[in-house]
Amino acid sequence: MPQKYIEKILRARVYDVAQETPLDLMPRLSARFDNHILLKREDLQPVFSFKLRGAYNKIVNLPDSARAQGVIAASAGNHAQGVALAAQRLGIKAVIVMPKTTPAIKVAAVRAFGARTVLHGDAYDDAYHHAVALAEQEGMSFVHPYDDPDVIAGQGTVGMEILRQHPGALDAVFVPVGGGGLIAGVAAFIKYVYPQVKIIGVEPEDAPSMHQALKHHRRVILDQVGIFADGVAVRQAGKEPYRIARKCVDEVILVSSDEICAAIKDIFDDTRSIAEPAGALAVAGVKKYIEREGATGQTLVAIDSGANMNFDRLRHVSERAELGERNEAVLAVTIPEKPGSFRRFCNTIGKRGVTEFNYRYADDRDAHVFVGVQLGGSEDAREELIKRLTDKGYPVIDMSDNEMAKLHIRHMVGGRAEVGNELLYRFEFPERPGALLEFLTQMGQGWNISLFHYRNHGAAYGRVLVGMQVPDGGKNPLQAFLDELGYTYVEETDNPAYKLFLR
């Protein structure tokens, strides 16, 4: 099997459109972790992502008769631009089916390459099925984003370049994983030439399609996937990528959204460029691997797969980067509600930097404060701070890993209400014009909304926290309604952040 792909990769015609991207040293990160860390800069491609390699190689290898009919693809981002550019260079018709939630900037980018866009559905699966149907109706060739040998071979040229650019010893190559096209191509080539080099995939904790497939020895369909790293938000690994990964991939590491944000900052610090969340996955994986293995003096390559970041997402990234780097702790601390308490509490914190301090009077007994504190970048520093506070008699709850607290509560501290029969839910809904109104219209049919917090994160999905008054015995009908509504949701009624700051 690898022999077949070696030939296909060597013959891949990607350089009609793609560039051989640099393999750059990350000096700051290398010094910090005492390893030689190199960054493969696929964010510097003409469409700011590696995807045009596979797209062009697939299209250029189609028979002339098929090319004359045009090509069609389903994508909300990088693959769409790759297919559109490839078709433009080859002078053929291209149709890209995109979810209605696709940001306008990405739709405009695809149209700028001369492709026709069709907006359909709220998610990739909707767009995919519509594109397949259109391909059959119009006789066009469907260009799959990852589950195709020619696409895989095109992406494999990234691995070929890494070996050519770094002829010395390599210990491991870290590859972001969505459907698996990139890691399949890179692994097939590198393992054939240097079997001793580790190929390590990196996925978000909330989108572990390849990780689960390798763990269970079969492809699995995830019930749902996280939306932060939208470039790799795939519910099932590709069939052909999985087949290759079983033989050529050593492991898949999972990282959190906060760790991805920290990796985006690391890339910026070393290159002054901004990776998209999926693009920074490999750097997050490198850091986690080094810490887990205690590795020093190794040569490690991370593939920066893309830079198609919506500008308005940077606010969210900057907020979470310090948490991902373990440079900040978010704590809920109870202090006595009496004069001098704040000063004594701040003395206990000491000279650590305070990133935020949220408080509002609730009663004359206890005050609950929501505080962010800068740390020295280690788990020990957080534990030492919590121990220092508890030793001084302050009840402390660590909110650093509490998603609801970080997404919503920190922006809401300041008001309490005695609301009877309130249940709290956290929702994700497709972000498109009118979506918030539509969500509210559906939610307000049978239950009184007693709390509502929404904040735009510049992503394809909006995140909302909703409190509803539900009479005794009414929870089961509500659950049935929410299931039928079809939005991803999590009940948060028992979340300690809610009990401390909103009730």
Q: Is the pLDDT of residue 270 over 90?
A: yes
Q: Is residue 345's pLDDT more than 90? A: no
Residue range 138-158, pLDDT digits in tens: 999 999 999 999 999 999 999
- What single letter denotes the amino acid at residue 412? M
Q: What local confidence, expressed as pLDDT, does residue 41 receive?
A: 98
Q: Which of 265, 305, 400, 406 is catalytic?
A: 305
What's the pLDDT at 432? 63
Task: Report all structural domains of the chain as residue ranges with CATH numbers, in order of start.
Answer: 2-49+149-322 (3.40.50.1100), 51-142 (3.40.50.1100), 326-401 (3.40.1020.10), 420-501 (3.40.1020.10)
Could you give the CA distance from residue 351 to residue 12 in angstroms, rounded to a whole number? 58
Q: What is the pLDDT of residue 442?
A: 73
311 burial type by CB count under 10 A (0-12 exposed, 13-18 middle, 19+ buried): exposed
Measure the CA–CA gap between 263 and 253, rounded to whole angstroms: 14
pLDDT at 209 over 80: yes
Q: Is the pLDDT of residue 415 over 80?
A: no
Answer yes or no: 93 catalytic: no
Could you write out the three-class secondary structure of 159-184? Answer: HHHHHHHCCCCCCEEEEECCCCHHHH
In tens, the pLDDT along 438-460 reads 777 776 566 777 788 876 665 66
51, 100, 265, 288: the active-site residue: 51
Whether 10 shows a pLDDT value over 80: the answer reads yes
Compare 255 and 405 and report the one with higher pLDDT. Answer: 255
pLDDT for 469 equals: 85
Sort strands 488-491 and 461-469 into parallel, antiparallel or unpaired.
unpaired
Give 267 or 426, the one with higher predicted confidence.
267
Residue 81 pLDDT exceeds 80: yes
Q: What is the model's pLDDT at position 295? A: 97
Does position 95 have pLDDT exceeding 70, yes or no?
yes
Residue 213: half-sphere exposure toward Cβ, Cα within 13 Å? 30
**325: confidence class by pLDDT, cuts 50, 70, 90:** confident
Average pLDDT (315-334) is: 83
pLDDT (0 to 100) of residue 456:
65
Who wins on pLDDT, 474 or 424? 424
> What are the tens digits of pLDDT across the range 281-294?
999 999 999 999 99
305 is catalytic: yes
Instruction: Pick from 77-81, 239-243, 498-502 the range whose average pLDDT is largest.
Output: 239-243
Helices (H), 91-148: 104-112, 124-138
Cα distances (Å, whole numbers) of residue 316 to 57, 78, 297, 446: 36, 21, 34, 33
Maximum average pLDDT range among 159-163, 232-236, 319-323: 159-163
Average pLDDT over residues 117-131: 87
